[in-house]
Structure 1
Amino acid sequence: MPDFLELCEVSAKDLRLILEDARKVKMERNGKTRGVLDAGTPLSDFVVALIFEKHSTRTRLSFDVGVRQMGGQSIVLASTDLHRSRGESVKDTALMLSRYVDLIMIRTYADKVIREMVEHASVPVINGLTDYSHPCQIMADVMTFEEKAGPIKGKTVVWVGTGNNVCNSFLHAAGQFGFNFVFCGPERFDPDQKAVSFATSRGSAFVIDRNPFNCVKDADLIVTDAWISMHEEADQDYKQKLNAFQVNKELLSFAKPDVVFMHCLPAHREEEVTSEVLDGPNSVVLDEAENRLHVQKSIMKWCLGLI
């Protein structure tokens, strides 16, 4: 059964299959309370390990609730719950987990950890986030955009800020779903070149524009993220270089009136984005968060051969 590691490693056909199933799942749950099980309880025979080596709100809740709504059993494990934190190898952890569970989701730091987990686990592994990528988030973002603005193919996505893990996955998605990508941030924070190369190799246009007021003019979607990741500390001039790239009312005034704004959260209000934008009419941040639940259900089902 397949792993879900990077959007560039899953076929575009399968990514579309997952999104179609997620839309169906969401529609079928319309109006139901959170504790009502999904029709057919597709995970009723499965146990899922949810491993969090990084702090998590949305990833933890959406995966845990998703497993329960599909009738499965989840085991939530923080890094301190496992002997990994005391030196046990990734190999031994993966081999052991494969004897207890049917599916592993891991949210970790180094990409090499999840690669090693896949190498030794005999059950599917889902990338819940690494320092390099965040594929589940971008699947939810594509789903959310298409709910609000129609097919994303041919549209222009503008990333404002730092080229981080979420940005890398957006570039993978650009190549898979056929949209164009503009990066707008200081040169020091440009996105990963391999992610850029994947997007352009699949026919997506990639542009770097250091002028935020210029880059948003043709944007169908504006995206930003926290300037500082959870485990990072800013050096002295870090924020100063990024202040010009704040998403605020003035910046949105240069964009189309119906431009969509996204942020995967958590947000640092009044830093990378103002509250006026985050809570404003163009923002779909809560829809993004909700759609994590629906799309991750479909990712789990896909990994287990259920769709």
Structure 2
Amino acid sequence: MRHFLTLKDFTKEEILEIIDIGLEIKKNLKLKIYKKELENQTLGMIFEKSSTRTRVSFETGMFQLGGHALFLSNRDIHLGRGEPIKDTARVISSMCDMVMIRTFEHSMIEEFSRYSKVPVINGLTDSYHPVQLLADYMTLVEYSAEKNIVAAYVGDGNNMTHSWMMLCAKLGFELRIATPKGYEVDSDILTQALELAKESGAIITTTNDPQVAVKGATVVTTDTWTSMGQEEEKEERIKVFSGFMVDEEMMSLAQSGAKFLHCLPAYRGLEVSEEVFDKHSEIVFNEAENRLHAQKGLMVWLNKQKG
């Protein structure tokens, strides 16, 4: 049995296998071919952080695979009212076939997985967002942009940045990260990624100059400057991140035909200009749809690992 907490726990071959399963499922769906690979199975979905794409994609995906998904907010279960995580894990995993958790502290999902009898999927923590990176890479494959990637991440050193680092370290491409001073990536996670990069030949660099990161890039990506739970910092962050908006001028530094990705929601006029978003909206909304297909590929793959 395997859990999906962070990409660092998976080999390059396993990541690509999950992507391939997701692409096959997507192709079949467009042809109205439905394979009930998780028939009569139940996914418990624990949300301590709300989300549009995470809930819709997992719930719809489970239905399309023949199973059922249960939405469980921290207001609905005793986890939010003082029950130990290990007790909740034992109970829910005795009744469900798989569990997805979207929460704050990464340590919470690690503890839950230690006591779970079934696979646990990280739907997002403050440290990592690995399911989004599956969708991002699937999108690059669909647009034939997965070869010789030079990716530039511009913005906050957050869970998306950390997950890009892990994907890069595992798959062996180049990643340049540009953040304002004081908003860099977690140093321990960077150290882990650099160590993993030695095996794959990946190149990971950090800078406080977004133009340095974007110059010659084949993929440019960003995220909101103010994540959930940071609302009180919004005005200060807008000031600090001035100059980090991905606009036409910044995109012009990238390679001709460079792809722009955004995990959404996108705040036009802040991390991305209206013009850049509109120009690349097709790939961005396909990226959003691919959360559905990549996660179905992941759930099917995890189910096979249960033996």
TM range (shorter): over 0.9
Asked if residue 125 in structure 1 is aligned to residue 120 in structure 2, the reply is yes
Asked if residue 162 in structure 1 is aligned to residue 156 in structure 2, the reply is yes
Matching residue within 6, 16, 38 for 2:34: 38
* Matching residue of 2:214: 216
Asked if residue 150 in structure 1 is aligned to residue 148 in structure 2, the reply is no
Asked if residue 110 in structure 1 is aligned to residue 105 in structure 2, the reply is yes
Give the 3-state SS of the residue equivalent to 1:223 in structure 2.
Answer: strand
Kindly indicate whether the alpha-carbon contact (under 8 Å) linking 1:260 and 1:283 is maintained by their aligned counterparts in 2: no
* Matching residue of 1:25: 25
- Equivalent residues in 2 for 1:60-209, closer than 5 Å: 60-152=55-147, 154-201=148-195, 202=197, 203-209=201-207
Q: CA deviation at 1:306?
A: 6.6
The one-letter code matched in structure 2 to 1:172 is M
Q: CA deviation at 1:236?
A: 5.5
The one-letter code matched in structure 1 to 2:37 is P
Deviates most, 126-135 or 249-258: 249-258
Runs of 4+ off more than 3 Å:
none
Asked if residue 263 in structure 1 is aligned to residue 273 in structure 2, the reply is no
Kindly indicate whether the alpha-carbon contact (under 8 Å) linking 1:90 and 1:113 is maintained by their aligned counterparts in 2: yes
Once residues 129 and 170 of structure 1 are traced to their aligned partners in structure 2, the CA distance between those partners, rounded to angstroms, is 13
Structure 2: gaps (5+ residues) = none
Aligned-residue Cα RMSD (Å) equals 1.7
* Matching residue of 1:54: 49
Kindly indicate whether the alpha-carbon contact (under 8 Å) linking 1:111 and 1:131 is maintained by their aligned counterparts in 2: yes
* Matching residue of 1:250: 249
Once residues 57 and 45 of structure 1 are traced to their aligned partners in structure 2, the CA distance between those partners, rounded to angstroms, is 25
Deviates most, 126-135 or 4-13: 4-13
The count of residues paired between Structure 1 and Structure 2 equals: 301
Kindly indicate whether the alpha-carbon contact (under 8 Å) linking 2:176 and 2:205 is maintained by their aligned counterparts in 1: yes
Structure 1: gaps (5+ residues) = none
Kindly indicate whether the alpha-carbon contact (under 8 Å) linking 1:3 and 1:118 is maintained by their aligned counterparts in 2: yes
* Matching residue of 2:3: 3
After TM superposition, the score normalised by the length of structure 2 is: 0.93
Kindly indicate whether the alpha-carbon contact (under 8 Å) linking 1:262 and 1:283 is maintained by their aligned counterparts in 2: no
* Matching residue of 1:295: 294
Give the 3-state SS of the residue equivalent to 1:244 in structure 2.
Answer: coil
Percent identity over the alignment is 36
Once residues 208 and 46 of structure 2 are traced to their aligned partners in structure 1, the CA distance between those partners, rounded to angstroms, is 38
Once residues 272 and 177 of structure 1 are traced to their aligned partners in structure 2, the CA distance between those partners, rounded to angstroms, is 27
Q: CA deviation at 1:214?
A: 3.2
Q: CA deviation at 1:283?
A: 6.0
Q: C-alpha deviations, 1:69-104, integer Å up to 9, x for none?
A: 000011111111111111111111101102211110
Q: C-alpha deviations, 1:81-133, integer Å up to 9, x for none?
A: 11111111111110110221111001011011101101111111000000000
Q: CA deviation at 1:206?
A: 1.7
Kindly indicate whether the alpha-carbon contact (under 8 Å) linking 2:151 and 2:220 is maintained by their aligned counterparts in 1: yes
Kindly indicate whether the alpha-carbon contact (under 8 Å) linking 1:140 and 1:295 is maintained by their aligned counterparts in 2: yes
Once residues 305 and 39 of structure 2 are traced to their aligned partners in structure 1, the CA distance between those partners, rounded to angstroms, is 12
Q: CA deviation at 1:4?
A: 0.6
Once residues 82 and 238 of structure 1 are traced to their aligned partners in structure 2, the CA distance between those partners, rounded to angstroms, is 34
Q: C-alpha deviations, 1:3-48, integer Å up to 9, x for none?
A: 111100112221111011111111111154xxxx722x01113111
* Matching residue of 1:234: 233
* Matching residue of 2:303: 304
Give the 3-state SS of the residue equivalent to 1:50 in structure 2.
Answer: strand
